[in-house]
Amino acid sequence: MLPQGGIFGYFLCRLNIIQYQFWSIVTATDIPLNCQIQGGLLLPHPNGIVIHPSASISPNCLIFQQVTIVADVKIGGHLDFGAGAKIIRSVTLGARALIGANAVVICDVPPGATAVGIPAKIIEKKTQGV
């Protein structure tokens, strides 16, 4: 049985799967095709990234190399992950938060906060006095 696109759609679908498998091997990543990723995801160094299919990523996030995201993680928009960050529990990461390099996140991160360390701790922003 052919998909709705007919024979042409069938071959395009197969071509896309082969292309996906090729780039998964080249970059050593595990980002399944059924991930809930919204637009604008930026992967400047896509090697070693692992994302569980049930994690949801909002628009315009930045993920560097060797980042791991487990099941049922909810990621807000415009969030930046440093290299080697690990999200190892089902948590919610607020919009515009920063996750430091090699941070191991095991608790929720509020919007606009910065999480660093092992285990990750929320650090406060320093305000500039006038």
Say if 129 falls within a structural domain.
no
Say if 130 falls within a structural domain.
no
Range of the domain at 16: 1-30
Are residues 9 and 38 located together in one domain of the fold? no
pLDDT digits (tens, 9 = 90+) for 35-93: 899 989 999 998 999 999 999 999 999 999 999 999 999 999 999 999 999 999 999 99
The answer to whether 53 and 69 have CB atoms below 8 angstroms apart is no
- Please give the share of the chain, as a percent, with pLDDT higher than 90: 75
pLDDT score at 81 = 97
Say if 12 falls within a structural domain.
yes
User: What is the distance between the alpha carbons of residues 10 and 109, in angstroms, rounded to a whole number?
Assistant: 43
Are residues 21 and 41 located together in one domain of the fold? no
CATH number, position 66: 2.160.10.10
pLDDT: is 2 or 15 the higher one? 15
How many separate domains does the chain show?
2
Residue with tokens 């360390």: 117
pLDDT score at 104 = 97
- Please give the share of the chain, as a percent, with pLDDT higher than 70: 93
Any idea how long the chain is? 130
Residues 6+ apart with CB under 8 A from 4: none
Q: Is it the case that residue 129 has pLDDT exceeding 70?
A: no
pLDDT score at 101 = 96
Q: Is it the case that residue 7 has pLDDT exceeding 80?
A: yes
Residues 6+ apart with CB under 8 A from 84: 64, 65, 66, 67, 101, 102
